[in-house]
Amino acid sequence: MSHYRSDRTHAQFLLFDVFGVDRSYGQPPYEDFDPETAVEILEQVEAFAQDKLADSFASADVHPIRLDPVRHTVTLPRDLRASLAAHVASDWLRLDLPADVSGIHVPASLRWAATEFILGANPAVAMCSQLIPTVVAMLQRNGTKEQRRLAELILERNWTVTMVLTEPDAGSDVGLGRTRATLADDGTWHLAGTKRFITWAAHDAAENVIHCVLARPQGVDGAGGPGTKGLSLFIVPSQLFDPETGDLLGPNGVVAANIEHKMGILGTPTCELVLGNREPAIGTLLGDAHDGIRQMFEIITYVRMMVGLKTVAALSTGHLNARDYAMSRKQGRELASLTGARGGRPLVEIVDHPDIRRSLLTQKAYAEGGRALVLYTATMIDRFEGAQALGGQDPVAAERHRMLLPIVKTWCAESGWRILGQESLQVFGGSGYLRDYPLEQYVRDTKIDAIYEGTTGIQSLDLFERRLIRDRGATAGLLLDEIAVTAHALADGPLAAEGALLTEALGAFRAILEHTFDRAGDTPRVAALGLTRLLMTMGDLIVGWLLLRAADAAQARQSDPSLLQTADADLAGSVAAGRWFARQVLPHVSAELASARLLDDEPLVLPDTSL
């Protein structure tokens, strides 16, 4: 049996019974969709992920990727190569393509629900193939005529793509990048420099890899200056090609010099790339415009959402694997008393032990909460795309989507990795530490998610500086007001106690936010000490709210089954997950407020050697 356990039913329950995304089906721009079509897509993508991608997950972890140091070619294990080629050649990548390319406008919430299956079955493959539609869309929106033709060739010839930002001495500070681009007499650009941590930079599953490279143009008025604003985006193929037919003309001057030796995601060839060392690395300026950071953020925005969902997918399958194990593993005897004798009672499955049940429900709450956070954020795209199709705007949805992105990426990554390690793996006991089960690989593969595309500290700064303080919390305030409405609505029903806990957590978070605003004006470095706490606490609050919305919907459908759109939905589980998270996690928000108020400058003035 495959390692992968999917939870399609819960995704459908969120989409249709909690968020009501089907209310926009049949209307522009989603005229081609109804709930039946959406469910069929989810079922088929789930089956594809299980059948074509999941089997190479474990084998790619133990069969090494090989770099030929002379020819600078990278050879993949056979199973992994077949999985990647299958996904790149499949129709499922078309779900993410622009409507004018694919012929159909797929709602973002449905696209992201389907993408979870790809990420869960084989995250190494997904980190390559899922980027292709985003780069194609970027080329279509921003590119020259030749670059728009390149977008077509990528799809026609099943080429793969990369995003190339990081340099050895720059790290997360992209603005320190020193890779140079010089204009040649024929109008192309020659790039020179070294890039590091480039995911899927070279491999033998496709004949060409198209690199999207940030570099600093030389000798151009108004471009190439210091910092991120001086960077431009260049399209650099690993193999030169005929721009009309796509026929390969020979290698370009961009080579894989090294494969990074990583803790996890060993199925991804993460390389150091050297450009223009012996031969020119020839590229073209995207759109003939020096607007690199804005253009690259069209990719980064997608990838940050994908990284958050990658962790959710791993945590969800980790939880379901742990539950399967707990239901079959017999060990220990039923606990009748903490002080009395235990002899004479029969062995029981470990799922009967109270601490295992606590652990499984905790895993379920975080997995389902993370999925709810990702899909709710995706519904904001549905909203503003729907408004645009009708000739209007939905600025609230657009701003809320931007605000939620660093929370999706970081809360999911940090919470998911912690719960996988502390809870999911622990259910297996010593067996969880072995490669006999997939949990140890899940843990290793997932740690990177808190580092990818901006570390936790950087995402926390981004949330505060660019999303919260920019409008003094106005965008956040609208969301917090909606949370208050939900808490008030729960006050007179069966979730009244949980509604009260949501109200208390909301008040504590408002106080944390206001306190941080005040601190940022007086002592910004002290305020910065609490920004990771701010992001994670905001994530806890929003996830708690979404889980209680799901619990409320589940209770309503238990009372009136005619309301239920998702057959076989685990209604009792959704109620329990919402109640558990509200009771066991939301009270911590008040404790975080106390900690925020106790922050001072001691960590900032200590000698470095005392840290």
The catalytic residues are 453
8-state DSSP, 136 = H
Strands 180-183 and 209-217: parallel
Its sign, for the CA torsion 369, 371, 375, 377, is positive
Which of helix, strand or coil describes residue 173?
Answer: coil
Q: Closest Cα partner for 91 from 78, 100, 101, 81?
A: 101
- Alpha-carbon dihedral angle through residues 6, 8, 14, 19, given to the nearest 10 degrees: 130
67, two tokens: 């770099």
Q: Which phi and psi (to 5°) does residue 257 adopt?
A: -90, -20
Q: Which phi and psi (to 5°) does residue 192 adopt?
A: -145, 125
Q: Closest Cα partner for 329 from 352, 359, 350, 346?
A: 350
* Helices and strands, counts by H and E, the chain: 22, 14
Residue 82, judged by CB atoms within 10 A of its CB (0-12, 13-18, 19+), counts as: middle
135 to each of 138, 198, 453, 531, how far by Cα in Å? 5, 15, 16, 32
Residue 495, judged by CB atoms within 10 A of its CB (0-12, 13-18, 19+), counts as: buried
Q: Closest Cα partner for 417 from 59, 123, 101, 43?
A: 123
Which of helix, strand or coil describes residue 355?
Answer: helix
**CB-CB contact of 478 with 396 (8 Å):** yes
What region does 279 belong to: left with phi over 0, alpha with psi -120 to 50, or beta? beta
Report how far residue 314's alpha carbon sits from residue 17's, in angstroms, rounded to the nearest whole number: 24
Angle subtended by helix axes 439-447 and 395-419, to nearest 10:
130
Its sign, for the CA torsion 395, 457, 414, 121, is positive
DSSP-assigned letters across all residues of 361-386? HHHHHHHHHHHHHHHHHHHHHHHHHH
345 to each of 334, 351, 502, how far by Cα in Å? 7, 16, 42
What region does 323 belong to: left with phi over 0, alpha with psi -120 to 50, or beta? alpha
Report how far residue 15's alpha carbon sits from residue 113's, in angstroms, rounded to the nearest whole number: 9
**CB-CB contact of 98 with 170 (8 Å):** no
530 to each of 244, 359, 449, 477, 533, how far by Cα in Å? 54, 28, 21, 20, 5
CA angle, 43 as apex, 40 and 49 as ends, to 5°? 140
**E strand residue ranges, 137-188:** 160-164, 180-183
**CB-CB contact of 498 with 576 (8 Å):** no
**E strand residue ranges, 268-399:** 270-275, 281-285, 330-333, 347-349
